[in-house]
Structure 1
Amino acid sequence: MSTAFDHARDPHDAAPAQQPHGTPGEAAWCAELDQLRAEVGQLRQAMKTRPVIDQARGMVMVLGPCSSQTAWEVLVEVSQHSNTKLRDVAEALVATATGESMPCPVGDALTGALRRLRTGGRQ
């Protein structure tokens, strides 16, 4: 008995005669492969930066004080207002625990966000 799965082909199994180079099918598979490679790269980067972002989130939760979700929103706001990547904001904040100073645009944005948080501008 034959099923739909029996007829499914892996793009790597296609013989050149069945799938000549440059066909629309091959182009679609190549585009999907490129997209998946980019996604894997982004996920790898996220896995590397996740710990420092979580540490910064915890620091904001203590400084706020606030919930984890609000701390995330504060970090995003600081990133946007200082025109700094979120992971760089997190690294700068975590580095202050060892005595490093925070870059002025990030520090100013964080100070403003925490002030709004403490005065009820956020939940």
Structure 2
Amino acid sequence: MHRTTVLQEDWWKLRAEATWGNPATGEDVEVLRAQNDQLRRALAGRAVIDQARGMVMVLTPCTRGAARGLLVNVSRQCDSKLPEVAAAVVAAWEGKPLPDRMERALRRTLRDFHAQGRRCDMRRPGRSSR
């Protein structure tokens, strides 16, 4: 049993020396760390996007895909990233005002969405048109 412990200790020492002694491996570690950080930021942004999508689905009865499409449309109009728009929507829900440009884009997008929805509702059988 003592041998196994010695071998494990030697293995860790060799592994540490190989990692720190080899510049290519050290660079690989840095690349992996950068990718890991990028994935963490993406996952954090995804949670905010999902939360904002849920809010849009509650306020505008629509599917998940349509809610995401609305947020993407606002993002494009404002020339901002989707997580930024989602964070602003969540913050607005909590009482912080939306930036003016984002508010105008959201109003425009919702107006277009509702206009398209009304046309679809009128064409469905069993619905009366006014």
Q: Shorter-chain TM-score: which interval?
A: 0.5 to 0.7
Larger radius of gyration: 2
Measured in 1, the distance between the counterparts of 2:51 and 2:113 equals 19
Structure 1 runs of 4+ aligned residues shifted over 3 Å read: 32-38
Structure 2 residue 110 is matched with structure 1 residue 114: yes
Rounded Cα–Cα distance in structure 2 between residues aligned with 1:33 and 1:118: 50
Equivalent positions of 1:1-123 (< 5 A) are 26=24, 30=27, 35-120=31-116
- Distance (Å, rounded) in 1 between the aligned partners of 2:29 and 2:68: 32
Structure 1 residue 61: Cα displacement = 1.1
How many angstroms apart in 2 are the aligned matches of 1:34 and 1:116?
Answer: 46
TM-score, normalised to structure 2, is: 0.63
**Larger relative helix fraction:** 2
Where structure 2 has 5 or more consecutive residues not aligned to the other structure, the ranges are 1-16, 121-130
Segment drifting more, 72-81 vs 45-54: 45-54
Identity, % of aligned positions: 41
Give the Cα–Cα distance (whole angstroms) in 1 for the partners of residues 116 and 77 of structure 2: 19
Shift of 1:35: 4.9
Q: Tell me how far apart the structure 1 counterparts of residues 33 and 69 of structure 2 sit (CA, whole Å).
A: 29
1:59-94 per-position Cα deviation (integer Å, ceiling 9, x unaligned): 111222211011111111111110122111111111
Contact 1:57 1:71 survives alignment (8 Å)? yes
Unaligned runs of 5+ in 1: 1-11
Counterpart residue type for residue 92 of structure 2: T
- Give aligned pairs, total: 103
Q: Could you report, residue by residue, the CA deviation over 1:38-61 in whole angstroms, capped at 9, with x for unpaired residues?
A: 332221002222222111001111
CA distance in 2, matches of 1:116, 1:34: 46
Q: Is the deviation greater in 33-42 or in 83-92?
A: 33-42
Structure 1 length as normaliser, TM-score?
0.66
Residue 89 of structure 1 aligns to a residue whose secondary structure is helix
